[in-house]
Amino acid sequence: MHAELQEPVRALLGEGPQLFPDGALRWVDLLRGEVYVRSDDHSRLVATHRHEVSKVLPWSGGHLALTRAGLEAVTPDGALAWTLDLTGGDNSVRCSDGTVLPDGTVAVGIVDRDLTPGRGSLVRVLGDGESIRVVDGATIPNGIDVTDDSSALVWVDSPTRTLMRLAIDPSDGNLGAPRAWVSLPEQWGVPDGLCSDDAGGVWVAMWGGARVVHIDASGSVDATVFLPLDHVTSVAFDADNTLIITTASVLLSESERANSPGAGGLWGVAAPLHGTRGLPPRVATLAPRGLAIALASNVSAP
């Protein structure tokens, strides 16, 4: 099947599509630090951060922005409630992808900004703000989501081209050790962002591969969505179960961008074509105490 262009937004690095409880989809232009809300088939810029922002997640007090330093909690009126440092002040790393876990805690990837091998990690952030290092020595911690039955986290360190499953302990939410689940062939590209469906499957965006692939509950690839551009970054369901696919234009020259109006755009596949359904969005319930309040200059409304 083939994706259709939904919005020619020309993001440098479109990323992090995420359905929110209000029925709108949030996504980001990572390198520009911009956060967009998409509803009624139109995206509206709602905030610009000083540095990169890789995703925003639903939070009980508004949303959580995954930034260069860590998490920024933003209220519905755009005020910054608190910030949580996940990088120890190291400007050479930043947050990558993340997801809300079944108990309201959050799993976040940390990636070297120059993609230096072995400097990436996967952390779990508890309700009080404590962070637990789950995986060390990764390179590009990327796509991440919880399975439909809440029993496991699916996660990929992109250069390995292998999706991992981490068991979720139902008693305390702790994550187990990563176990290889599905390896994808090199000619398909590199697995980037992903999302789970309600039948135990996962949709995976393939950077450099001009496609999104569907892996069913048994671990078999049973469907492919093709795009007319290579740099596919992530995928998520919207409120109508349309698959919304983000893309990038950052590696194109100005002339190449001019001749590729869909590069950096939002693409989609309607529910009747792909035949799957998304999961209800989970809401983070983090309530850290004693954290530094972010400076207002870190983020601005359009």
Mean pLDDT value of segment 139-152: 96
Domain span holding position 236: 4-286
Distances (CA, A) of 287 to 129, 145, 242: 7, 22, 33
Mean pLDDT value of segment 171-193: 96
- Is the distance from CB of 274 to CB of 1 less than 8 angstroms? yes
Torsion sign, CA atoms 103, 20, 194, 113: negative
Among all chains, which residue has been given the structure tokens 């207002």? 296
Between 258 and 277, the higher pLDDT residue: 277
Domain presence at residue 71: yes
CA distance 161 to 140: 11
Q: Residue 198 carries which side chain, given as an amino acid letter?
A: D
CA angle 140, 146, 150 (to 5 degrees): 150
Using a 10 angstrom Cβ sphere, with 0-12 exposed, 13-18 middle and 19 or more buried, the burial of residue 90 is middle
User: What is the tens place of the pLDDT at every residue in 42-80?
Assistant: 999 999 998 999 999 999 999 999 999 899 999 998 889
Domain presence at residue 297: no
Q: How many domains does the chain have?
A: 1
User: What is the tens place of the pLDDT at every residue in 5-46?
Assistant: 999 999 999 999 999 999 999 999 999 999 999 998 999 999
Domain presence at residue 298: no
Whole-structure pTM value: 0.94
pLDDT value, residue 204: 98
Q: Residue 241 carries which side chain, given as an amino acid letter?
A: N
Residue 224 pLDDT grade (very low, low, confident, very high; cuts 50, 70, 90): very high
Dihedral angle, C-alpha 237, 239, 244, 248, nearest 10 °: -100
Domain presence at residue 293: no
142: domain CATH number?
2.120.10.30
pLDDT value, residue 297: 39
Residues in a beta bridge with 18: 26
Tell me which of 3-17, 20-34, 79-93, 216-230 is least confident: 79-93
